[in-house]
Structure 1
Amino acid sequence: MKNSVSPDDLSVLLTVLREGGFRAASRRLGIAPSNVSATVTRIEAQLGTPVLRRTTRSLHLTDAGQLLVDRVRPLLSALEAACHEVATLGAQVQGRLKLNVPGAVMPDILPSLLAHYRARYPNVEVEIVVESGLIDIVAMGYDAGIRYGSVLEQDMISIPIGPRRQQMVCAASPEYLEARGVPQTPEDLTAHDAIRYRLDDGAMLPWVLQNKGRSVRVEPKNALILSVGALNTGLKYAQSGLGVIHTFHNWIGDDFDAGRLLPVLPDWRSELDGPRLYYPNRFTPAPLRAFIEICQGES
């Protein structure tokens, strides 16, 4: 049949999209770039319509290509996962683990888990992509994702990863507090410069401070706004005296001990549920299954 495209060819097309180009896909697949290009051309000839728009700098799916990818990507992902799961049953765990995570878990939650994981499973290549928005991990080619307090699809499982509860606190450099004064109440923060974070959807991360059953939402003056993807870099700006920062308590203990930063309103804190690992409830490949066991063992 003219419109019959082989799963192998479709897998090459998905690799081109996942890796961002023909050359990157050829390196991932271990074949020549010309063979990758020829495969895409063959798909288009068999379907009788273009699936990619190519320029010298980028490539984009056509409407027909988007429809094709949306339909076949979940099917091929499930097929690949099922085959990999069967192939690795009872065997050494190997392959790739690809995670999509928010920046908040990068400094202290993931390093110890991945160190433990790599020590036990050295033949697994781990890839991490950092972004804050909730995504369809199956459609985007990830094994699992990590998010805070997100509403997940019904066919997803989630488990806690890292601390079950986390606290956020305010802090500033000694130099800043000496020059501007020490806030005594949450309302005092409205007169202070702040280092804030903006979410991908444009909203600012709120400052909601809690103490003895009282909750106060504060809107300080924005001295510096950072993308939420750069979450842990804000400490450097706070240490430089740019303003007050509202950040994870577990990130800032060393700065308090060294005197680089001082607590601001130490009795007022924010509490939130810790992050969760989420993944499809079927065809869990061996590298992900092993990572889940590590996460549960650390709980």
Structure 2
Amino acid sequence: MAVDIALLHAVVAVAKAGGFREAARMTGSNPSRLSDAVRRAEEQLGVRLFNRTTRTVALTEAGRALMSRLLPAMNEVDAALDALNTFRDTPGGTLRLNVPVSAARIVLPAIVPGFLQRYPDIQLEVVAESNVQDVFRDSCDAGVRYDDHLEQDMVALPIGPRTQRFALAAAPAYLAQFGTLQHPRDLMQHRCLYGRYATGVVAEWEFTRGEETVRLQPKGPLICSIGAAMDLTVQAAIAGSGVVYLFEDWLKPALDSGSLQPILPEWWQSFTGLWLYYNDRRLIPAPLQAFLDYVRELNAA
């Protein structure tokens, strides 16, 4: 039975993504093209591989049987093609990284441009999200996480500054109107601009000075989804709407310009920086190996 290999790649993409729209996003294709490829694969195979409704796309029993044998074979094909990189002057291919929005915002900008300049044949795709997910969920090769989000059986490589801090700040006009703070508990009388995780949990504000730690549930006029939307809290703070507590490096431009004024810096909490982690039990693709080597070089500088 002859089946076009390109059609099988489409089937695998849809099976991994659980739908045509998500598969199109992951592969850079479009849903209608993938749907047509799956239909033609089913015609060539003579069996239905997916049950489709207006809301869901799920593998049939035949589809699950095919995937159980096809996925390992496709992975071997990808590994064989990637091995050709060793014969190239510079590695090529795609590298997918799963990172927190904060990493994309304040750490990767100091790394990515130089990496892309050194390896022009590598296409880097960064999946930035506020929710910590399995790094391999979107077929990513590696992930960037903080200590408490490192997964088991992973190799961790330091990436970016080894210490970060949260910074509390407000606009000078806000502080002139509502007064300065003498202690973090004073925040309960102030207008806080804060974030909420996709789970619905509101992120606590935690402060530390010496042996004393204070944890607060912020209240105020603006709540944003934790991630890129936190830029809105920064702009609202600059406009005088309230107090913001966010990564110091995220607020640094506004602090340096005076648009925001630091509050209680002796209470700002420090924490360990980010880690690049990957599974060394898998064959390391050449683009990932190049990125690992580049980060190690920066760490040694």
Is TM > 0.5 for Structure 1 vs Structure 2? yes
Aligned residues: 292
Aligned to 1:88: 85
Aligned to 1:256: 255
Aligned to 1:20: 21
Per mean C-alpha deviation after superposition, the further-off stretch among 95-104 and 82-91 is 82-91
Deviation at 1:39, TM superposition (A): 3.8
In 1, distance between residues paired with 2:137 and 2:5? 16
Deviation at 1:280, TM superposition (A): 2.1
In 2, distance between residues paired with 1:149 and 1:66? 39
In 2, distance between residues paired with 1:53 and 1:277? 38
Deviation at 1:261, TM superposition (A): 0.2
Aligned to 1:247: 246
Aligned to 2:285: 285
CA gap of 1:249–1:175, structure 2 versus 1, over 3 A, is: same
Pairwise mapping of residues 82-231 of structure 1 onto structure 2 (< 5 A)? 82-91=79-88, 92-230=90-228, 231=230
In 2, distance between residues paired with 1:227 and 1:69? 40
Q: Percent identity?
A: 30
Aligned to 1:38: 39
Per mean C-alpha deviation after superposition, the further-off stretch among 166-175 and 82-91 is 82-91
Q: Judge conservation of contact 2:181–2:264 (CA < 8 Å) in 1.
A: yes
Query: Is 1:60–2:57 an aligned residue pair?
Result: yes
In 2, distance between residues paired with 1:153 and 1:136? 8
The CA deviation string for residues 176-197 of structure 1, in whole angstroms up to 9 with x for no partner, is: 1111111111110111111111
Query: Is 1:298–2:295 an aligned residue pair?
Result: no
Q: Judge conservation of contact 2:14–2:23 (CA < 8 Å) in 1.
A: yes
Aligned to 2:272: 273
TM-score, normalised via structure 2 length:
0.83
4+ residue runs of structure 1 moved beyond 3 angstroms?
4-10, 16-19, 21-29, 32-35, 37-40, 42-46, 62-74, 150-155
TM-score, normalised via structure 1 length:
0.84
SS at match of 2:111: helix
Q: Judge conservation of contact 1:209–1:217 (CA < 8 Å) in 2.
A: yes
Q: Judge conservation of contact 1:170–1:246 (CA < 8 Å) in 2.
A: yes
Q: Judge conservation of contact 2:205–2:215 (CA < 8 Å) in 1.
A: yes
SS at match of 2:244: strand
Alignment gaps of 5+ in structure 2: none
CA gap of 1:166–1:152, structure 2 versus 1, over 3 A, is: closer
CA RMSD of aligned residues (A): 3.2
Aligned to 1:234: 233
The CA deviation string for residues 191-218 of structure 1, in whole angstroms up to 9 with x for no partner, is: 1111111122222222110112211112
In 2, distance between residues paired with 1:51 and 1:275? 40
The letter for the 2-side match of 1:133 is N
Q: Judge conservation of contact 2:91–2:286 (CA < 8 Å) in 1.
A: yes
In 2, distance between residues paired with 1:188 and 1:141? 46
In 1, distance between residues paired with 2:27 and 2:274? 35
CA gap of 1:25–1:135, structure 2 versus 1, over 3 A, is: closer
Deviation at 1:104, TM superposition (A): 0.5
